[in-house]
Amino acid sequence: MSLPLRQQDWEAPLRLSAPKRRQHRRAIGYRKRVRAALALLAGVCICGFAAWGWQAVRALEAASSLRLAAAVTPGAPARVGLVSASAERRLGFVTITGSVANHATRTLRDVEAVAELLDSHGRTIGLESALIAFDPLPAGQPSPFRVEMVDNARAVAYRVRFRQISGSALD
């Protein structure tokens, strides 16, 4: 245990007079109100920035989404049909996934999905193909597919078609 070295340290603390006490209490109350106001302001700012960030992310998602364009086919009956499709943009690439069904009465071999990226005028600005998951594709059965390609900032839509590796169109 140590002893205080100065006389003020071991003398009894002085009592404040009534006016000084009121002044001291007002100062403490003022500080508390200022701290509360600053905490409230910080909370409002944090909530505002969070909402702004959320809106920015939502706007970016809406701008980066691709819509599915309908494939225009001639009058010939389609041997396969698109069941579902979705596109995801990520890190400079577009991944198009979905499912295709065999409408033909026989098994189809070497079926590939051909994905096209389209600009705002409907012109093809990117093209890539990949084999579907099931080979051969039995009659009446569905099969998943996945096509990955380099993204193009001008792309606003995509289209999916199907063909055999030999080049004959199936849809």
Residue found under tokens 């084999």: 131
Q: Using one digit for the tens of pLDDT, what is the confidence trace for 101-146?
A: 999 999 999 999 999 999 999 999 999 999 999 999 999 999 999 9
Write down the pLDDT at residue 125: 96
3-state secondary structure of 91: coil
**Is 171 in contact with 162 (CB distance < 8 Å)?**
yes
Mean pLDDT of 53-80: 73
Residue 165 has pLDDT above 60, yes or no: yes
Q: Using one digit for the tens of pLDDT, what is the confidence trace for 124-133?
A: 999 999 999 9
Write down the pLDDT at residue 49: 87
**Is 130 in contact with 71 (CB distance < 8 Å)?**
no
Write down the pLDDT at residue 6: 62
Q: How high does pLDDT run on average in the chain?
A: 84
**Is 166 in contact with 147 (CB distance < 8 Å)?**
no
Higher pLDDT, 148 or 6: 148
Residue found under tokens 């706007």: 59
From CA 164, how far away is CA 55, in angstroms rounded? 44
**Is 108 in contact with 136 (CB distance < 8 Å)?**
yes
